[in-house]
Amino acid sequence: MIEESQLSEPQEATWCIGCGNFGIRAALKQAAIKLEVPHEELVLISGIGCSGKLPHYINMNALHGLHGRPVPIATGVHLANEDLKVIVITGDGDCLGEGLGHYLHGARRNVNIAVFIHNNGVNGLTKGQYAPTAPRGYESKTSPPPVGSPMMPVLPLPLAIVNGATFVARGFAGKRKMLIDLMVQAVQHKGFAVIDILQPCVTYNHELTWKYFNSHTYSLEEEGHDPSDKTAALEKAQEGYDNLPLGLFYKAEKPLLKEGLAIPKDGKLRMKENDLQKLQEIIDRRVIQ
């Protein structure tokens, strides 16, 4: 239903030449076409970062929010209008640093949104500080040699699995076909869907490069991994940077957030008329008390 020409960039991308974000954008375009949904039903919610700029470079409904906050914004958009397919575009700093609490709560709520984490190991926009996913020992301006990063990386996928996410996957910006397929499945999935997307930052991260990811990744599917096996998924999701599995780790069906909320059943929340005068009266009463 969506033509490629409808997605062309409203602004020219300012990402560095060779940045993995280009591969992710290209995959997102193809996924949007493959989803066969009307253009107006897809919406991107992004945080702040090089990744967060993606909605400026692809023509889709979008809201470019605050650093660390795209998951709660997306939750609100979804609950107000369940017809929309809501996709969060977030960086590893955005999602797993300042936004980590929101990420975990989104997972345990099993809110029906798809979260695409652009994982480059650095805070790209703010010039290359090590991000929460940087491996122990990673050297950067803020984690100088000889020690490098003195702590373990945050592992987004085991966290998602143990906290209740129901679609958990990893893609790579350099493996386009697999990434498109995972994106389509994540958006179609009913529940909290996460894709950890390996995304080389060619300017600041000289360890997690295109070459590195090409030679230190393998396919879960080719290994015969069963995504309904939660224990095996957790084990695989904890494998480190030496040999990173790609593909679908875990998929399950669980009750959705909206099923437990007092959302009006007689029509969408967005169709409800708000009585602003009544609201003001309530606010005034509270102020006086």
Ligand X SMILES: Cc1ncc(C[n+]2csc(CCOP(=O)(O)OP(=O)(O)O)c2C)c(N)n1
Which pairing describes strands 217-219 and 244-251: parallel, antiparallel, or unpaired? Answer: parallel
**If DSSP codes are grouped into helix, strand and coil, which group holds residue 44?**
strand
Dist CA 221 CA 185 (whole Å): 15
Q: Which does 48 bind (CB under 5 to 8 A by kind): Mg ion, ligand X, ligand SF4, none?
A: ligand X
In this complex, which beta carbon is closest to ligand SF4, that of residue 19 or of residue 237? 19
Examine residue 92 and tell whether it contacts ligand X (CB under 6 A). Answer: yes
CB 64, min distance to ligand SF4, A: 15
Spell out a b/e string for 231-253, using b for 16 or more CB atoms within 10 Å of the CB, else e: eebbebbeeebeebbbbbbbbbe
Which of 61, 81, 126, 203 is close enough to bind ligand X by CB under 6 A?
126
Q: Which does 94 bind (CB under 5 to 8 A by kind): ligand SF4, Mg ion, ligand X, none?
A: ligand X
Examine residue 120 and tell whether it contacts ligand SF4 (CB under 6 A). Answer: yes
Examine residue 133 and tell whether it contacts ligand SF4 (CB under 6 A). Answer: no
Residues 64-123 that bind Mg ion (CB under 5 A): 91-93, 120
Which of 55, 70, 72, 124 is close enough to bind ligand X by CB under 6 A?
124
Dist CA 170 CA 249 (whole Å): 8
Examine residue 46 and tell whether it contacts ligand X (CB under 6 A). Answer: no
Examine residue 201 and tell whether it contacts ligand SF4 (CB under 6 A). Answer: yes
Token digits of residue 51 = 């990744």
Examine residue 70 and tell whether it contacts ligand SF4 (CB under 6 A). Answer: no
Which chain residues interact with ligand X by CB under 6 A? 48-51, 66-67, 91-94, 98, 118, 120, 122-126, 131
Which chain residues interact with ligand SF4 by CB under 6 A? 15-16, 19, 21, 50, 120, 124, 201-204
